[in-house]
Each structure stands twice: as C-alpha cells, then as structure tokens.
Amino acid sequence: MKSTKAYSAISETSALAASTIERRELTDRDVQMEILYCGVCHSDLHQVRNEWRDSMPTSYPCVPGHEIVGRVTGLGSAVTRFKSGDLAAIGCMVDSCGKCPPCLAKEEVYCEKSAVLTYNSPDRHTGGYTFGGYSEYIVVDERFCLRVPANLDPARVAPLLCAGITTYSPLRHWKVGPGQKVGVVGLGGLGHMGVKFAKAFGCEVVLFTTSPNKIEDGLRLGASQVVVSKDASQMTPHTGTFDFILDCVSADHDVNAYIRLLKRDRTLCLIGAPEKPLAVASFGLLFGRKRLSGSAIGGTEETQEMLDFCGKHGITADIELIPIQKVNEAYDRLLKSDVKYRFVIDLASLRA
C-alpha cells in the first residue's frame, strides 16, 4: 500500500479536511495516475453528507471525486493502452464483473453483479472502500482508464467524466438529432453540458430554468430559447411540442409540468437525483403514451466516444478552478447554484 494525500470527511456532519489514505500496489493491469484535476459533482456533496442513506449509505472516511484527469506515472506489466506521461481520465466507475450482459455490452454502469463506483464502493483489492479523486494519486484497472484528447484543456475536461457522459449518454440512447426539439431542464453542471451536446447534435434546444438571470448564459451555451419555468405563460405555448426532454434537476420539482410538453410517444429522461421521490400524475403519461425514464452515467466505451466527440468538436465544461482548501466553501456555493458551471479542484494545491 502507498500513502497518498487526500481530502476526506469523517462523518456526515464534518467538513472535508486534509488526511492520508492508502492506495493499493499496482497489479499487472493497473495504471497509476498523478491526479491533476478533479471536478466537484453534486453527487460528491450528497455522498459526503450521507443524503442517499437509503439507497447508497456512505462509509467513512469518504474521499469523493469522480471527474478525474491526471498524468500516468506507473504501469502494471500487462497494461497495453497507456504509457508513462500520458494524459488519462477516470470517471464514475473503477471496476465491474466484466461478465454479465451489460458488462459484455460495455455498459458497465448497469453491471448486474458488482459495479464498483470510484468512491464509496466495496473495493475487492483492499477489502475496504474505494476512494475518489480529491487526492494526489489513484490506481485503477486499465479497463476503466480513458484517453484524453490532446487539444482540450485538461481542467475543463474533468467534468466531462460525469456531467459530460451523464448528459451525452441519454441523448445518444434516445437518438436525438437534427430537426428535433429537445428540452434541457435546469442550468447547472449537468444542464450546461446537456445544452452543449444537444446543440452539437443538431437539435433545436430549449432551456428551462427557474432563474431569469440565466437567460443570457443559456443562449450563449447554445439554446435557441430560454423558458422561465415558473411563468405559465412561457410554458403553455410549448405543450406537446418536444421530441425529448432531459431533466437535469437534483432538487424537488414538478416533473408533470415537463411531461405535458412532450409530443406523443416521446420520452422525458431523469438524470438528476432528488433526495425525495417525485410525484408523477399517471394521466399525464397515459394520454400521449409518454415515457418517463432515467439514465445513469454511461459505460467505458461510450465515455471514450464522448471524449473523442468533445475533442473533435472542441467541447469542454465551463469551470471555476479552485484550490482544494476551498472545497467546503465550494459545496456551500454549489447548494446555492452559485457556480458557472462546475468547480474543478486543481490538485497542485494538495501537493503544495
């Protein structure tokens, strides 16, 4: 085991603080990476504060972070796809069974046996729990290590590993494309990537926000129209006109107001995870045979495809770079949606 500096929380009420964790020795198939940047995802905050205690209770100490970009500094003897000095990335997963139907389809996130998340999952190598990217170094199986396009700013790439793939995957799965009208609900870390991708896929993009002060930004990011969702007179004209709606909201909200906006047989996909169950009016789905669905992150193959797509189209996240010492402050600001649109930790601050 190797000691590594990290920021961790020791209980659901404690702030993140400097600590030391252990990383495993490299196996034949492992890549060791010096972490350069790690995005701050809303899931990090939920997990650190044990807000998903019913479905995914938190084990402490908790080192969050699953939007990781780093430099390869060590290789197991059987690693073939990376060499020392390569830029590489890790997203939300670091292991899976590799044998079940979703794994064989490279949709490891839906592994039926043992999907291992980048943090707070049982770790078969150490017998403990996985630790995420708010740390100096990480060791990961080559299968879950991704290539980073050389033309993109690595700090701005970090959020693509969760916010990026989480929005890219459902847009691809439901085959949104040119000529379609696509709604994106909520302009935060997820929503701003959703708008960029839907626009890059050739759709007419409408952004829904509760904040009139986000109109200008929504248009800048690629929406052709921004609707203030609290204003019924702005919502009503869109009734029954959407081919697809990507709901990126992590707070409690009225999903029925958006189901109403779908065309017949079309889909609303949830990618945010509100703490409490949402209320859904059946009639809203019955009349129009509409679908309410969900989507989680994306598999390794699709994540690589997304990164390559971003390289080709020059797409990255809008970020605010912070030293790790400001991460607790960043969490407070995240709760107030006071970030455009993703905090990214510069891990040089942890090494300093």
Residue number with CB closer to Zn ion (50 or 229): 50
Question: Among residues 157 and 259, whose Cβ is nearest to Zn ion?
Answer: 157
What token pair was written down for 288? 């129009």
Please say which residue, 43 or 121, places its beta carbon nearer to Zn ion. Answer: 43
230 vs 346: CA distance, rounded Å: 37
What amino acid is encoded at 93 in this protein? M
Q: Answer yes or no: are the C-beta atoms of 61 and 9 closer than 8 Å.
A: yes
Q: How far is the CB of 138 from Zn ion (least distance, A)?
A: 16
Give the residues across from 185 on adjacent strands: 208, 247
Least separation in angstroms between CB 268 and Zn ion: 21
d(CA 109, CA 44) in angstroms, rounded, equals 17
Query: Given the rule CB under 5 A, which of 117-125, 157-165, 247-255, 264-272 is the region that contacts Zn ion?
Result: 157-165
DSSP letter assigned to residue 254: -
Query: Does 296 engage in binding with Zn ion (CB under 5 A)?
Result: no
Task: Specify the residue, 143 or 263, whose C-beta has the smaller distance to Zn ion.
Answer: 143
Q: Give the burial class of 263: count Cβ atoms within 10 A of its Cβ; 0-12 exposed, 13-18 middle, 19 or more buried.
A: middle
**How far is the C-alpha of 332 from the C-alpha of 337, rounded, in Å?**
9
Q: How far is the CB of 112 from Zn ion (least distance, A)?
A: 6
Q: Using an 8 Å Cβ cutoff, are 35 and 47 in contact? A: no
> Does residue number 103 form part of the binding site for Zn ion (CB under 5 A)?
yes
273 touching Zn ion, by CB under 5 A: no
Determine if 41 is a binding residue for Zn ion (CB under 5 A).
Answer: yes
* Residue 96 near Zn ion by CB under 5 A: yes
Which one of 7-15, 91-99, 196-204, 274-282 is the stretch in contact with Zn ion (CB under 5 A)?
A: 91-99
Options 22-30, 92-100, 131-139, 326-334: segment touching Zn ion (CB under 5 A): 92-100
Total number of residues that touch Zn ion (CB under 5 A): 9
In the complex, the smallest distance separating the C-beta of residue 36 from Zn ion, rounded to whole angstroms, is 18
Contact status: 162 vs Zn ion (CB under 5 A): yes
- Number of Cβ within a 10 Å radius of residue 110: 15
H helix or E strand, kind and range, residue 72: strand 68-75
Q: Residue 316 CB, nearest distance to Zn ion (Å)?
A: 16
From candidates 4, 8, 32, 43, binder to Zn ion by CB under 5 A: 43
The window from 108-116, 123-131, 205-213, 299-307 that contacts Zn ion (CB under 5 A) reads 108-116
Could you give phi then psi for residue 328, rounded to 5 degrees?
Answer: -65, -40
Handedness of CA 108, 111, 114, 115 (dihedral sign): positive
Among 17, 26, 56, 97, binds Zn ion (CB under 5 A): 97
| Strand locations in 167-261 (E) | 181-185, 204-209, 225-228, 242-247
Going by their DSSP bridges, the two strands 225-228 and 204-209 should be labelled as parallel
Which CB, 96 or 316, lies closer to Zn ion?
96
Per CB under 5 A, residues contacting Zn ion are: 41, 43, 96-97, 100, 103, 111, 113, 162
